Amino acid sequence: MDAMPLMRHSSTFLLPQSSPSAAPTSDGPALTYALVVLNQRVPRFFPLLWKHAKLRLCADGGANRVYDELPEMFPDQDPLDVRFSYKPDVIKGDMDSIRDEVKDFYINLGVKIVDESHDQDTTDLHKCVSYICDSTDGSEKSNLCILVAGALGGRFDHEAGNINVLYRFSSIRIVLLSDDSLIHLLPKTHYHEIHIQSSVEGPHCGLVPVGAPSGSTTTTGLQWDLNDTKMSFGGLVSTSNIVREEKITVHSDSDLLWTISIRKTT
Ligand SMILES: Nc1ncnc2c1ncn2[C@@H]1O[C@H](COP(=O)(O)OP(=O)(O)OP(=O)(O)O)[C@@H](O)[C@H]1O
Ligand SMILES: Cc1ncc(C[n+]2csc(CCO)c2C)c(N)n1
């Protein structure tokens, strides 16, 4: 149990890049971020996520959101200038939601469009995550972190599909985001340290055994810590918990979802 490798997590992508705490520290590794924009209202801190990302993808109708909502976020600027500055690298999906005018606009800007309308068995988010993994070298995958904007709230079938992507790519760091909260997977292969960025996240949090029950989970740093505790749907799941310390530790025999609230001031 003690030989288990440590995985550190820290939501520094919610801080401005110039912020000292956004730089790599003992809080967590220096990560390379990719961003996937889904077809839901973009979060208010979207420009921050965009700046952190080295690769930016829109999942099908996510392109409509960048096209429509970014100019609304910067009402004092010319909409065209805003669209030029927020030009995605790739638009990928089954292309049944992107509007023709939006598709044509980005084709003219040279954006790569990957039409996978033949695949009706995987979601547009899944298709985008596959693209990012395929374009990342094996040695760089451990430093990759995929931020997913617009993944929570909205239609529950889509939310469940988005959570399933965390499990299907369980060796890749993926963070699902909305305006209100974030979710990521804590794989059972690791012992976890979560460094709380208390200026932008918390205090509400949860540990949820979505994929399978947990026979034993132990935590430190929470108001209601678990101590060799069983969790399952139909039994206990840790929701409405509160972070009490700057560092949370989690040790579990099952994959767990970690979720934490995002502060309104972000
Ligand atoms: N209401 C929502 N809540 C959560 N995620 C969403 C929602 N709507 C879309 N998404 C995410 O954005 C991605 C792209 O959305 P888009 O509307 O283009 O998908 P779609 O497959 O055409 O959806 P539909 O099931 O409506 O045909 C989806 O794969 C999903 O991950
Ligand atoms: C059992 C099963 N349930 C639902 C779908 C439908 N579906 C799942 S992902 C997707 C693509 C959405 O862009 C669609 C249409 C399926 N294929 N198989």
Distance of CA 248 from the midpoint of ligand 2 (Å): 37
Distance of CA 203 from the midpoint of ligand 2 (Å): 36
Any ligand 1 atom below 6 A from CB of 206: no
Among the bound ligands, the one closest to the CA of 62:
1
- Reported as a single tens digit per residue, the pLDDT across 6-62 is 999 999 999 998 665 555 555 666 899 999 999 999 999 999 999 999 999 999 999
Strand-pair category, 191-195 with 201-208: unpaired
Nearest CA to ligand 2 atom 14: 120
pTM score of the predicted model: 0.95
Distance of CA 124 from the midpoint of ligand 2 (Å): 10
Q: How far is CA 220 from CA 191, 195, 213, 249, in A?
A: 12, 12, 20, 5
**223: pLDDT confidence band, cut at 50, 70 and 90?**
very high
Nearest ligand 2 atom to alpha carbon 161: 9
Residue 100 CB-density burial (10 A; 0-12 exposed, 13-18 middle, 19+ buried)? exposed
Distance of CA 122 from the midpoint of ligand 2 (Å): 6
